[in-house]
Structure 1
Amino acid sequence: MSAFFGASATAAAAIVAFSLPNIALAQEGSAGALLEEIVTTARKKSSAEAVQDVPVAVTAFGAAQLDALFVKKIEDLSYTMPNVQLESVGTFPGVQNFSIRGQGINSSIPSVDPTVGVFVDGLFMGTTYGVVIDTFDLETVEVLRGPQGLLFGRNVTGGAVVLRNARPDGESAVRVRLGATDEDQVNLAASIEGALVEDVLAAKMVVYYDDDEGYFGNTNPSAPNPAPHPFQPFYANAADGSNVGALRTRMFRPTLVWTPDDSTDVSIIIEHGETEGDGASWSNVTAQRGGAVDDFSTTSDETGFTNIEWTSGVLEANIGDVGSGTLTNILGSRRVKADSAADIDGTDLPIFAAPGFTDQKQFSNELRWAGTFSDNWEATLGAYYFQQDITYREARYIWLPPPIGPAPFGVNLQRALGGDMDAKNFGVFWNNDFHVGDRVTLTAGLRYTDERKSAQIITGGCSDNAGFNCSFLDLDGDWNNVTPKLGVQFRMTDDAQLYAFWTKGYRSGGFNFRNAKPTVIPPGPTLEEENNTVEIGLKADMLDGRVRLNIAAFQNKVDDMQRELNVPDPDVIVLQGTINAGDVTIQGVELDFVGLITDTFSINASYGWQDGEYDSVNPAFASFLGAELPRLAPTNYSVGLSWDIPAGSNMFNLMVNHSYRESHPYDDANLQFFDDQRRTNASINWFSADDTWNVSLYGKNLEDEANWGNLTSIAGLWVAGPMKKGRVLGLEVNYRR
């Protein structure tokens, strides 16, 4: 660890030699967009701060940067940041399984708390369903790496993804985006905003529609099976040889902003959306990797289905001039209902199907004050309350055909899994920044969290399909934790800083709704997970703002790490559950670079290296654990080029980005590995002279590389997984007025 900390310090010394006081230049065109100043509210101060001034490892994107990188969904950013994975790898579409610095979850079990918190307009997403988000009308995307326990609370031991939708400012504006791909996907998004009462009340409406007719082929034209076994009913639309993976998403989001005076603003944001279509497109990965089946086809006998509906509301009030600071209150609620199913075995036989239902309701409120106690003392203090209720039911239809099961029909098994859970969380926090002279700032903060959960979980072995007539276990847990932070920031120049801090993250214990075999994997509660992190970093803008270099080195010591096991099992096909696997050390280095080589040509790059290992292993589960940590890619990098080409009064932009992520295990037993991943994306963009119109021709995953989501061993016989899209070519038109 000292070696790469030392290397970072050496690099910092070199930066000082080249870094001169300057004001970063606002660059024209897409090539310079990545060097424009981006502000962040991640430290919850009374006013937004420039990202380069914040002493934490955060990668932030404003609307201009998202456009310059041609980012359309949050998961498009996954390969552009070091040690970050933002893909959806769950059993069902629209399920967030983010991983940062090797800490992420490997399941769609709604009772399992995430390690990477997702916050939209200040609202924490309590469940992983329905948060794979389009970037249309986003004001900023901030990805904070490492535990954020002080200001964001529990369940952000890996990091936080902070999204903020653009607010109306009272100016009249219209934006329309229309896109289509060569794979029968059409996307339409639009926004309109303006003043309802001049200088007092502004409004905006955003609408969004995406229709994906299905990317993947089905080579099983004879389905439904002409002689299905008599016990298992078909639960969805049977496959007929046509494309699968179709999804349609509709969403609308009205926003009101009331500004009665210069020091007060109140925002109301309502969002309602729904996604419906096929289930995840599972395939026989073993056959695909062996070349027997096309990488983007399945022989599935069922398309499955997906129905996700969500409604959320946020009321944010900021009142200035409260003492020497600003008082902020964020009230939020959200409800998600998800009904989904998939042909998990990925073959033309009805071997393993798992329809499930989730209903989650949450409410939260944060009250905080941020300001100054003196010229050299800034503070943020507040209180937070969160409550959620979750209901989950899952039916497993399992058919063991001859010769595994008895002739002539084999054997049919049915299992009901699921439960109900109520969780309440209360926390108070206080963060302080003490400025020592003009160059040094000391940080000291503390958060106390108390959390209580009660659950009723279906006992293992119940065969009622719906799961409502089963016996239930009554379980509860109570956890409290203190998460401090100590740090120092040294500003070498006005545009270069060194920082170092120690902090602690906390993830509460929990329960396992997929309680298939409690004697093998208990239903819980698990112990809480604690993450002690040391990080040092450098941030520097150089050469008159034409070069930006950020470096971070970290070490995480995780005690009682919670892991989600996926174990092959002959009775339930896959045995899943949450355990405390042991104590872990993860360390790494991260680098971000942007350089404006000329006024019209720029390079951006990132590099991540990380290494993790068990310091000790829970002996009760040692046989389920491999030597390598899952979802931890040892190396990853990204390189992008952007070139602006004037064409009279108009502008063309050429953009290309190539990224790489090294092979690493998906599961804890190290039975399934993600392949090395290489991605090349490119776009040709035309901008009108007044920036009213732009037209883009783009390609994603130009190598047409195959990839899968959660790789699952089907009773130890073969590996199945939901397929990811290969090459996609598209055309997009944007209009702004």
Structure 2
Amino acid sequence: MPVGSPIQLAILTLIASIGSAQAQEQTPSAAEKKATSDSTAISEVIVTGTKRATSLQRTPVAITAIGAAALDDAHVQTIQDVVNLVPGFQATSQGDHGVITMTLRGVGNDSAKTEYADPEVASFVNGVYSPRPEGATSLLFDLEGIEVLRGPQGTLWGRNATVGAVNMQTAKPVIGQSSGTFEGGLGSYKRTGVRGAFNVPVSDTMALRFAFVNEKHDGYVDYQGVPNIPLASQQAAFLAGGGKLADFKPIDPNLFVQDGAKYGAQDQSAARVSVLWKPTPALRIDASYEKFMDRGTPSMNLLQTPRAGYSLWSALIDTAPALKRDTDAVRGRIEYALNDSMNVVYVGGYSKFSGSSKFDQDGGAKVPTSFTTNGVYQANNTVSSNYTNYSHELNLQSVGKRDIDWQLGLYYGSETNDMRFDIPIMNGTQQGTVSWQGSFIQPKETVESSAAFGQATWNASDALHLTGGLRYTSDKRANIGGRGYGWTGNAALTQAAITPNVDPRDPNSNFAVSSMNDGNYSSNKVTGLLRAAYDVNQDHMIYGSVSTGYKSGGLQDGGKPYGPETLTSYEFGSKSSFLGGSVKWNNALYYQDFKDFQFSAPITNPDGSHGLATSNAEGAKIYGFESELAAKLTKEDKLQISLAITKAKLGNLIGGSNDYSLPVCKVPGISNCLDVSNNTMPHAPTFSAQVMYQHTFNLSHGTLTPRISLHYETSSWLSVFNLGEGDKQNAYTRTDLGLRYAASGKTAWYVDAFVRNAGDGNVKTSALNGFGPWMAQYLPPRTYGINVGLDF
């Protein structure tokens, strides 16, 4: 390793933090005490990453905890907004399903947006697992905070937490308190927003909380004009393509969308009612019901080199956008103190999702020269998608100060889903001839996961803490009646693009079964954790751990199974407080060894049929360093700095994907593929950093707080194929600005103005060139707005 390399600097930084820790005197930690408003100490942060309420600085896990105030300052609405607040965290937009997929420490799965692929980063709301990525994109409103746990979390958190977990904690009712908050706002792209929450005491043992939100703005993507192609040119192109003059039709201009809702629009609403009941000092019951509705539009694939005469944020659209998502979720937690040394906790939830969408997959990549030539019409249409999920966990744990802290748990989760997904692909325009089209109908797929786990920490001394944990997981999947229907090409039957009112099971539909997807899959695995933590003194801690992760295999098109993936992670970290608690500095150095990493992508089979395939790579090697520093420089000045250094290399894998132009495959079973062995993993910049600073000016009737947030990262690949500039996001810096005035006195009102992506940079989140020219999806352009709120 060359001197001065990023990883070497990371190691030196970690050693420096440990050296600083050892040089400190053994004095009480101000960071462990709640800071007052006139203090320069940073308030203690309580986290639940170990399924217990513990101080962040005393928890030997790499956790980023983002409180409600920080979420408001950053105007966080979705998981994608959290990216800049967590080192080593990435989130990518995926247009056809209107979902966001997550990558942590260089590992994720861009195809984890349907029932065929699971994420490596698990999402939880109040400790209840959210199995589908749709749930993770729901509006993040009225939260106590978000905890992002980095590294394998399977021992305590369960399935699909291979490289990390995100736990969102909603605000809970407060007994005996009448309070509320209300906020309304306006902004660019005709943005309107309103949100609020009200706490209502019912009795001396019960309280309710009502929260709601609605956010709307117009889409970012303008419609390009109808192609102006002379009729003679259309005829010439049609004839050159092998057509007969008698069959010629002029391009129908009505096939190109010119008005209506644009791609990239937001129209999301949610409401939640929560109840807290404490009938006795020993019993606490929390329960909530939440409704989420999305009537916005998907994000869009855009030409990376804009068409002449048009801006980047425009496209030649032939499929009007549509997105409908509804989620109902019930979550609950019951905690009972059996005695002074033992608690039993039940955490359970039920969620139901239904949705549909229409998406212009081709994005107008090519302008048609006639109704059957040059252009491509491809619509990805989710006709219906339904998921039902149950989650139950029972946990018995010790409480209080003991020589051995322990917990035992049982978990059961189940999921049932059904869907229909249509893909019509036509030559030229929607009027043209069929290139290929198919319909995937999944009437029933089930997932069951059960587990037993235990973890214990031996407090060998006041300073040394040794932890061990094991989890046994059993997974079962079944695909019942799933079928893929492909185009038969019968000239005597209809030649039109498939629509939802076409039943591909009908022999006269011109479709026939192309894949039988029935199948069963089961697997089990034991994963574990070993960790040692040492309190150098009350202000400094170091820790080291070895942990394993596991993600179940499953079934793909054709009922073919794919194998599970496993991970062994080695981590060494430090957590320190300096200057009486006004500076906190946390570091983590890690190495992750993957086996059988799952890669999923849409492919074309040698017989011309299409499907989603999952392959197991030989593995992947990832190592890196993360550092987070928070400083309260004065009572009025706050500074936060985080950085991540990541090196992620894939093992041996032959990968295929319809989203990319790839050479003919020599491996049986895939038409086009590429050897991506030893390529760099996508969404894994070598270096990324975030700096946030704010200063509070004390005025006669309130405070004025300007803030600035800078995010920088080096270049990163957007796919495992590493296909050059089109498949890469170059190094960039993003700036967000804010200015908040908060009035003092009896009426606590505020005005908050913000500018996001102030430099109006174009940051890619995904890319493809399967239609010829390079296209990409992007983070939103520059947006701005103002919110006015009242706390009472």
TM score, norm. by length of structure 1: 0.90
Match of residue 527 from structure 2: 483
Match of residue 258 from structure 1: 277
Mapped contact 1:497–1:539 kept (Cα < 8 A): yes
Partner of residue 152 from structure 2, selected from 135, 147, 150: 147
Partner of residue 379 from structure 1, selected from 389, 392, 406: 406
Match of residue 302 from structure 2: 283
CA 236–185 in structure 1, closer or farther in 2 if over 3 Å, else same: farther
User: What residue identity is the alignment partner of 2:590?
Assistant: F
Q: CA deviation at 1:320?
A: 1.1
Partner of residue 473 from structure 2, selected from 441, 445, 449: 449
Q: In the alignment, is residue 623 of structure 1 matched against residue 674 of structure 2?
A: yes
Match of residue 93 from structure 2: 89
Q: Distance in 2 between matches of 1:232 and 1:154?
A: 51
CA 322–291 in structure 1, closer or farther in 2 if over 3 Å, else same: farther
CA 570–186 in structure 1, closer or farther in 2 if over 3 Å, else same: farther
Q: In the alignment, is residue 705 of structure 1 matched against residue 727 of structure 2?
A: no
* TM alignment of 1:172-211, pairs within 5 A: 172-197=178-203, 199-211=204-216
Match of residue 511 from structure 1: 555
* TM alignment of 1:496-535, pairs within 5 A: 496-512=540-556, 515=557, 524-535=560-571
Q: CA deviation at 1:92?
A: 3.5
Q: Distance in 2 between matches of 1:267 and 1:236?
A: 52
Partner of residue 109 from structure 1, selected from 103, 110, 114: 114
Q: CA deviation at 1:635?
A: 1.1
User: What residue identity is the alignment partner of 1:500?
Assistant: G
Between 1 and 2, higher relative CO (CA 8 Å, sep ≥ 6) is seen in 1
CA 321–409 in structure 1, closer or farther in 2 if over 3 Å, else same: closer
**Matched position secondary structure for 2:474:** strand
Which is higher, the Rg of structure 1 or of structure 2? 2
**Matched position secondary structure for 1:96:** strand
Match of residue 675 from structure 1: 730
CA 30–678 in structure 1, closer or farther in 2 if over 3 Å, else same: farther
Q: Distance in 1 between matches of 2:190 and 2:607?
A: 40
Q: Distance in 1 between matches of 2:278 and 2:223?
A: 55
Structure 1, residues 273-326: CA drift from partner, whole Å, max 9, x if none? 1101333333223x33x8764222222233321000010101211101347211
Q: In the alignment, is residue 655 of structure 1 matched against residue 707 of structure 2?
A: yes
Partner of residue 437 from structure 1, selected from 461, 471, 483: 461
Q: In the alignment, is residue 426 of structure 1 matched against residue 441 of structure 2?
A: no
Partner of residue 370 from structure 1, selected from 397, 406, 416: 397
Partner of residue 306 from structure 1, selected from 319, 323, 334: 323
> Structure 2: which 5+ runs fail to align?
2-6, 239-247, 368-374, 489-497, 506-511, 656-666
Mapped contact 1:707–1:723 kept (Cα < 8 A): yes
User: What residue identity is the alignment partner of 1:23?
Assistant: A
Match of residue 212 from structure 1: 217
Mapped contact 1:44–1:370 kept (Cα < 8 A): no
Q: Distance in 2 between matches of 1:524 and 1:568?
A: 16
Match of residue 749 from structure 2: 693
Structure 1, residues 145-166: CA drift from partner, whole Å, max 9, x if none? 1110100112111210000101
CA 542–69 in structure 1, closer or farther in 2 if over 3 Å, else same: farther
Match of residue 54 from structure 2: 49
Q: CA deviation at 1:133?
A: 3.8
Q: Distance in 1 between matches of 2:683 and 2:589?
A: 19
Partner of residue 103 from structure 2, selected from 79, 99, 108: 99
Q: Distance in 1 between matches of 2:773 and 2:535?
A: 56
Mapped contact 2:617–2:651 kept (Cα < 8 A): no
**Matched position secondary structure for 2:202:** strand
Q: Distance in 1 between matches of 2:781 and 2:610?
A: 27
Mapped contact 1:218–1:242 kept (Cα < 8 A): no
* 412-421 or 18-27, larger mean C-alpha shift: 18-27
Q: CA deviation at 1:245?
A: 2.7
Q: In the alignment, is residue 12 of structure 1 matched against residue 68 of structure 2?
A: no
Q: CA deviation at 1:66?
A: 2.2
Mapped contact 2:446–2:477 kept (Cα < 8 A): yes
Mapped contact 2:38–2:635 kept (Cα < 8 A): no
**Matched position secondary structure for 1:77:** helix
**Matched position secondary structure for 2:22:** helix
Q: In the alignment, is residue 316 of structure 1 matched against residue 333 of structure 2?
A: yes
Q: Distance in 2 between matches of 1:253 and 1:235?
A: 42
CA 209–84 in structure 1, closer or farther in 2 if over 3 Å, else same: same
Q: Distance in 2 between matches of 1:231 and 1:427?
A: 62
CA 573–473 in structure 1, closer or farther in 2 if over 3 Å, else same: closer
Q: In the alignment, is residue 611 of structure 1 matched against residue 647 of structure 2?
A: yes
Q: Distance in 1 between matches of 2:135 and 2:504?
A: 25
Q: Distance in 2 between matches of 1:222 and 1:660?
A: 40
Q: CA deviation at 1:719?
A: 2.6
* 670-679 or 572-581, larger mean C-alpha shift: 572-581
User: What residue identity is the alignment partner of 2:447?
Assistant: A
CA 572–697 in structure 1, closer or farther in 2 if over 3 Å, else same: farther
Match of residue 635 from structure 1: 687
Q: In the alignment, is residue 461 of structure 1 matched against residue 461 of structure 2?
A: no
Q: Distance in 1 between matches of 2:487 and 2:211?
A: 45
Mapped contact 2:341–2:400 kept (Cα < 8 A): yes
User: What residue identity is the alignment partner of 1:676?
Assistant: A
Match of residue 46 from structure 2: 39
User: What residue identity is the alignment partner of 2:437?
Assistant: Q
Structure 1, residues 116-143: CA drift from partner, whole Å, max 9, x if none? 0000012111111132243431012000
Identical pairs, percent: 22
CA RMSD of aligned residues (A): 3.2
**Matched position secondary structure for 2:133:** coil
Q: Distance in 1 between matches of 2:543 and 2:97?
A: 39
* 447-456 or 106-115, larger mean C-alpha shift: 106-115
TM score, norm. by length of structure 2: 0.84
Match of residue 646 from structure 1: 698
Q: CA deviation at 1:616?
A: 3.9
User: What residue identity is the alignment partner of 1:508?
Assistant: S
Match of residue 551 from structure 1: 587
Structure 1, residues 220-257: CA drift from partner, whole Å, max 9, x if none? 3679x999998999999934387443331121111111
CA 532–541 in structure 1, closer or farther in 2 if over 3 Å, else same: same
CA 296–550 in structure 1, closer or farther in 2 if over 3 Å, else same: same
After the TM superposition, list the runs of 4 or more consecutive aligned residues in structure 1 that deviate by more than 6 angstroms. 28-33, 225-237, 568-575
Mapped contact 2:485–2:504 kept (Cα < 8 A): no
Q: Distance in 1 between matches of 2:749 and 2:326?
A: 33
* 376-385 or 124-133, larger mean C-alpha shift: 124-133
Mapped contact 1:94–1:131 kept (Cα < 8 A): no
Q: CA deviation at 1:214?
A: 1.8
Structure 1, residues 503-528: CA drift from partner, whole Å, max 9, x if none? 0011000233xx4xx6xxxx631110
Match of residue 264 from structure 2: 245
**Matched position secondary structure for 2:161:** coil
**Matched position secondary structure for 1:183:** coil
Match of residue 361 from structure 1: 388
Q: Distance in 1 between matches of 2:39 and 2:98?
A: 32
Q: In the alignment, is residue 295 of structure 1 matched against residue 312 of structure 2?
A: yes
Q: CA deviation at 1:375?
A: 2.4
Match of residue 774 from structure 2: 719
Mapped contact 2:98–2:297 kept (Cα < 8 A): no
User: What residue identity is the alignment partner of 1:682?
Assistant: L
Match of residue 416 from structure 1: 439
